[in-house]
Amino acid sequence: MPAAAPRARSALSRGLFGRDPIRRGLYLLGMLPAAWTFYLGLIDQLGADPQKTLERTLGLWALRFLILALAVTPLRRLGVANLVRYRRALGLIAFYYAALHVTVYTVLDQGLDLAAIWADIVKRPYITVGMLAFTLLVPLAITSNAPMIRRLGGAAWQRLHRLVYLAAAAAVLHFIMLVKSWSPELILYAVLIAGLLAVRLIARRAGAARRPATARPPAGKRPLEVGRR
C-alpha cells in the first residue's frame, strides 16, 4: 500500500510535534540547542571535555523548559500571557532534553555498563535524584496526548500530572547536589522553581478558602485548573 507510509509518517510527526504550525515551530526551535550542541561536539568546538559539556547542556535545557512549562499557569493567572496551548509542547521538549541527557550519561559516558550505572543510581544520591526526576517525567510524557487524557479522565490526568512539581524539585536538587559550589545560574533556577511551587500552593489554598464546600463541583468533573484533592 503506497499511501500507508506517508500517512504513518504524518501520524508520527503529529504525535511528536503536534498539528498547530506555531506549536510545530516551537518544537523545532526548542530542539535547536540540542542539535546545535551536538553539531559543535562533532566538529570539536565544545571545549576540552565535549562529552561533559553536551551532557550538562542537555540537562540545563531540560530544566529550563521544565521551568517554562511550570510558569504557564502563574503567567495566565497574573494576566501576563495565556500560553496554555503551548504548555504540552514545553513539557514534552523538557522531557526530550531529559531523555537525551540520560542517554548521553548511560551510552556515551558509562558506555552502557549496566552494572556501573546501577551502582551509580544506588550509591550516588545526585544520580538517584536525577533518575527519579526523569522517571517521574516518563508517565507524564506518555499521557501527553488527547486519547490518553480521554482515557484517564480530566481529574485523574491532572492528579497524575501534578508529579511535574516533584520532578522539577528533584531536577533542581540533582543540579544542586552535583556542583562543587553554587553558581548564580543555579541559584536562579532554584529560586524560580521554589517560587513557582509556592505560587501554586498559595493559589490552591486561596481557591479552597474562597469556595464554600457545597458549591464544589462533583469529584472527577472539576474544571482543570482548580483541582484540589
Partner 1 sequence: MARALFMLIKTAADIITSEITPHSAYLRRREFLAGAATLGLGTLLPRAAPASPLRADKSPLSTTSEAQTPLKDIISYNNFYEFGVDKDDPVKYAHTLKTKPWKVKVDGLVNKPAEYDLDDLIKDIALEERVYRMRCVEGWSMVIPWVGVPLASVLKRLEPQGSAKYVAFDTLVRPAEMPGQRGVFQPLPWPYVDGLRLDEAMHPLTILAVGLYGETLANQNGAPIRLVVPWKYGFKGVKSIVRINLTEKQPPCTWNVQNPREYGFYSNVNPNVDHPRWSQATERRIGEGGLFVKRRPTLMFNGYGEQVASLYSGLDLKANY
Site of interaction with partner 1 (CB under 8 A): 38, 41-42, 44-52, 54, 108-109, 111, 116, 119-120, 123-126, 177-178, 180-184
Of 37 and 158, nearer to partner 1 (C-beta) is: 37
The SS3 assignment for 43 reads: coil
Please state the closest distance from residue 129 (CB atom) to partner 1, in A.
11
> Left if phi > 0, otherwise alpha if psi is -120 to 50, otherwise beta: which for 228?
beta
Of 63 and 155, nearer to partner 1 (C-beta) is: 63
Please state the closest distance from residue 1 (CB atom) to partner 1, in A.
40
Task: Judge contact between 63 and 57, C-beta under 8 A.
Answer: no
Of 10 and 103, nearer to partner 1 (C-beta) is: 103
d(CA 55, CA 58): 5
Nine cell digits for residue 186:
543555579
Of 70 and 131, nearer to partner 1 (C-beta) is: 131
Report the chain's C-alpha Rg in angstroms: 20
Please state the closest distance from residue 147 (CB atom) to partner 1, in A.
38
Please state the closest distance from residue 179 (CB atom) to partner 1, in A.
8
d(CA 97, CA 39): 16
Distance of CA 1 to the CA centre of its chain: 38
